[in-house]
A and B are shown apart, each in its own frame.
Chain A
């Protein structure tokens, strides 16, 4: 197998007596779209939080592009090519859509100190930002304040900000959360367009989206990864069916 881009090994995180992640591990190849599924409380969001660097694992390793980043601070991870989107839409409401993406470009470009130029007139920031907006279909909405955008558009904006940091791996925490059918389909199509170009680690409850997007799927239960495989393998896995996919009429989450 080719060198994995991301590999997680034995990740454990507990909050007091509650063990949210209990020795979770998985590997993602460059360009691979990888989904993590599991019932509520399985530890998916905790797992993403640790990869993003917002949570510090109690034990275990996170290796990204051959480098141990287990304890690397959050703000140092995007420079390596690791970007995340948020489950709760997390754009800057007072800024325009273009300003939002330009901030993401600026984060990578640096030069926060010492520049006296009007950053809104700076083609080095604006041009790449506009390209990212157009890619997610928001090119015509560039000057609209982010708070005025519809929910689905804000999620698209969120994705544009992630793309602006030129990531090698994107962490997507429920990219279709709270979306209607139409918006949801558009988001899935957008993400499908990124396959092969950037690797994705996707946490998602919408099984249609997961099976449409993911090349490989890991199933979490009780803080562990109980199975990893292609969508077909996961569908066929007896253990998974019993535990999670709602065999015998149980409600899928």
Chain B
């Protein structure tokens, strides 16, 4: 039985991802594991944004807010664990923690709550206003953390250590890499599944014609808000992972440039495709590395490349590839 090319490419990608730490060890390129981890974390943020941008047609220019909130949640809890001071004493005492099992879901919960508030307000608008309001919220949070002197303000906050995760040692690059890979694979599986379920179809219907969906009897705003909240939580988890990866957080996690980066990853990889954000993150990182060696103002080259990608591949690089591969089926 022959394997369709589309599947073959996916399996090859998975095999490469699984073998990467071993390959890096053999070739003496140990730093590659760290780079791959970073790419996967950015891909996870892209997967989160793609949910509302690619499948829901909501252009959020403020998703770095959730990235930063997730990162700061982990960093602040770790900070309190180190100092031994309680984070809050009322209405009940909340101490710090470095346990991933507590801190990471909490980071997602914080982001889900923030997304619920931001989404409930932003989704009253659409189009350009929606872009601007999400940007405004992200900027508000950016300056909030800049002025938050308790947690380093402008200078950011260092983590004494990565989160502890039971038997896993997250300081071991390979173990941390595999954990991140597992989370990304899970996120991909969830995306593939729900994009075909009732919720996903309703969301895509809203993207294509919201007025018609309302006329059919769909509560469109509620559906969009649910997607926005899930999206925020996933990006928050990516932020929590990035805080662990860099062992440092700063307001730059919430900057509009970061929001743009996540947007670029999704658009480049393929809006509304399951694997697009992973491809986008890889290509984005490679371009950044190659171009920034050549000039500090690498965005000057990257910008036009992005424009070309949008013009000639409506569903991004992955969409283009999937189309080509399907033709050989």
Contacts and interface: CB of A to CB of B under 8 A. Distances in A.
A163 to B, nearest CB: 12
Nearest to A82: B217
Interface string B175-207: 000000000000000000110111111101100
Interface in A86-111: 86, 90-95, 99, 102-104, 106-108, 111
B193 A116 contact: yes
B212 interface: yes
Contact of B208 (A86, A94, A119, A165): A94
A112 B202 contact: yes
A93 B205 CA distance: 10
A115 B218 CA distance: 16
A71 to B, nearest CB: 15
Contact of B211 (A90, A114, A161): A90
Given A78-B215, A108-B217, A92 B198 contact: no
Given A94-B208, A113-B226, A104 B216 contact: yes
Given A75-B217, A77-B217, A112-B218, A92 B212 contact: yes
A118 interface: yes
B163 to A, nearest CB: 29
A77 B198 CA distance: 21
B164 interface: no
A117 B193 CA distance: 8
B139 interface: no
Contact of B198 (A79, A84, A91, A112): A112
A95 B203 CA distance: 13
Main SS class of interface, B: helix
Nearest to A108: B217
Given A92-B208, A112-B223, A116-B194, A79 B217 contact: yes
A103 B205 contact: yes
A103 B208 contact: no
Contacts of A86: 212, 215
B252 interface: no
Nearest to B190: A116
A52 to B, nearest CB: 7
B197 A119 contact: yes
Contact of B218 (A75, A84, A118): A75
B158 interface: no
A102 to B, nearest CB: 8
Nearest to B218: A107
Contacts of B212: 86, 90-92
Interface in A23-74: 52, 54, 74
A99 B215 CA distance: 16
A107 B216 contact: yes
B201 A84 contact: no
A120 interface: yes
A74 B215 contact: yes
Interface in A132-185: 161, 165
Contacts of A83: 215
Contacts of B219: 75
A253 B212 CA distance: 28
B196 A119 contact: yes
A107 B205 CA distance: 11
B323 to A, nearest CB: 14
A45 B200 CA distance: 33
Contact of A52 (B196, B200, B215, B220): B215
Contacts of B215: 52, 54, 74-75, 78, 83-84, 86, 90
B214 interface: yes
B293 interface: no
A119 B198 contact: yes
Interface of B: 193-194, 196-202, 204-205, 208-209, 211-220, 223, 226
The 8 closest A-B pairs by CB, nearest first: A78-B217, A107-B217, A107-B216, A75-B214, A74-B214, A118-B196, A119-B198, A90-B212
Given A115-B198, A165-B216, 13 more contacts: A74-B215, A79-B217, A86-B215, A90-B212, A92-B212, A94-B208, A99-B201, A107-B213, A112-B218, A119-B196, A120-B196, A122-B198, A125-B198
24 contacts: A54-B211, A74-B215, A75-B214, A75-B218, A78-B215, A84-B215, A86-B212, A91-B212, A92-B208, A95-B205, A102-B201, A103-B201, A103-B202, A107-B217, A115-B197, A116-B193, A117-B197, A118-B197, A119-B198, A119-B201, A120-B196, A120-B201, A122-B198, A165-B216
